[in-house]
Amino acid sequence: MLKLWQEFLIKFKHVLILDKEKGYVYLRSFLWYTDTKLLESQQLELEQVLAKYLSEEEKGNIMRTIAAKYIDEAELKV
């Protein structure tokens, strides 16, 4: 799954630009789906892949999305 993310971020950079205009609707959905399939130990690797291929602005937006997901999960467990 991590390799798929790398390929996606390289080959579909133009799609990220379009998705950015929509508030990263598709990227967020893909990210949330992926996160449910990854082992906890692989989540850091996913963050590193994202950090490698995204601009600083994109990284900030996506990392906030990841953080929001973790907060939501923590609230559900309580």
Interval 13-65: pLDDT, tens: 889 889 888 888 888 888 888 888 888 888 889 888 988 988 888 877 777 77
Number of domains forming the structure of the chain: 1
The domain of 49 spans 2-77
Q: Which pLDDT does position 32 carry in this prediction?
A: 81
Dihedral of the alpha carbons of 20, 15, 29, 54, in degrees to the nearest 10 = -70
How far does CA 3 lie from the centroid of its chain?
Answer: 13
Q: Rounded to two decimals, what is the model's pTM?
A: 0.70
Q: What is the pLDDT of residue 6?
A: 93
Range 9-16 average pLDDT: 90
pLDDT digit string, tens, across residues 48-58:
898 898 888 88
